[in-house]
Amino acid sequence: PLFRQMNALERQFTHTVNELKGLEQGQIRVLIFNSISVHWIPGILSRFLNDYPGVKVELITEEDSARAETMVLNGEVDCAFFLTDVQSDIDVYPLIEENQLAIVPYDHPLAGLDRFPIADLGKYPFIGMKYAEHTGIYNIFRSHGITPDTAFIMDNDNAAMAMVSEGLGYSIFAELVLQNVPYRIRCMEFDEPQKRTISIGTRSASSCSRACAKFIEYTRRWVKDWDAGRQKSIAGKL
C-alpha cells in the first residue's frame, strides 16, 4: 500500500508537469478489458492520437471489475472501462447498453426456438468464463434463483465459443464479444432480455489530468458514432 501511494503521488506530480506543458507531452494509463481492446480501442486511439500525437497512452488489461475500481481509486490508472455497475465513489460515464446473449450449437435442443428460455438455464451444461462473476453474467442466474450446471470454466472467449460449437454446452456472452465470430454457433436473446452497461470512469472528473479528460471525451464521442453506425446497419438489414 505504501509503494502504491508513493507511485500515485509520483504520477500526480507528473500530471502537474504535463498540465503546464498542455496536451503536447501528456501521459495516461487506461484500464481496458478484452472485448473492447478488439472492437473499440483501435478506433478510439486512432482518432485521439491523430489529434494529440504527443500524448503517450499506456493500456492495461484487467477483466475483474472490482479490481479495476481499486486501481482507479489508488491512482494506479487514470481511467478505466467497466462492465458492471460501479460500487465505488468514482465519476462514471455510461457508454452503451448491450444485450447479454446465450450461444448454443446449431443442434442444441433449444436452437430452434426464437428465444432462449431463462427457466431452462439450469437444465443444460454451461460453459462459464473465469471472470464471469465480475462481468454481470452470473447475476442472470442469481436473479432467477438458478444454479448453472457448469461443465467447464474457461479463461479465453474463443476457446469457450469453440467448445460450444462442438456441442459441449451453452454459454453467455455480450453482443460486443460476439461480433464476427468464426464459429458455428447460434446467438439467442433471452425470453426476458438481459442487459449490461459499459462505462468509462475516473477517480475525479474535476481533478483528473487534461489528457485523461480529453481521452474520456473522445471515447464518449467515438462510441456514440460507432453505435449510430451499428444501429444504421441493423436497420438496413430489417
pLDDT tens digits, 138-196: 889 998 999 999 999 998 899 999 999 999 999 999 998 898 889 999 999 999 999 98
Say if residue 15 is exposed, middle or buried (CB neighbours under 10 Å; 0-12, 13-18, 19+): buried
> 153 vs 39, 48, 130, 131, CA distance in Å?
24, 37, 6, 9
Tell me the mean pLDDT in the region 55-73.
90
Question: CA torsion 96→170→39→41, rounded to 10°?
Answer: 80
The answer to whether residue 12 scores a pLDDT higher than 90 is: no
Please check the confidence at residue 18 and state whether its pLDDT lies above 90.
no
DSSP label of 73: H
Burial readout 48-80 (b: 16 or more C-beta within 10 A, e: otherwise): beeebeebebeeeebbbbeebbebbeebbbbbb
- Predicted confidence (pLDDT) at residue 236 exceeds the cutoff of 80: no
Residue pointed to by grid coordinates 481521452: 215
Residue with cell 462492465: 83
Of 114, 102, 121, 103, the closest CA to residue 194 belongs to 102
pLDDT of 35 = 85
Dist. CA 168–CA 161, nearest whole Å: 10
Grid cell listed for 63: 477483466
Q: Is 27 or 21 the better-scoring residue by pLDDT?
A: 27
> Distance between CA 97 and CA 139 in Å, rounded?
16
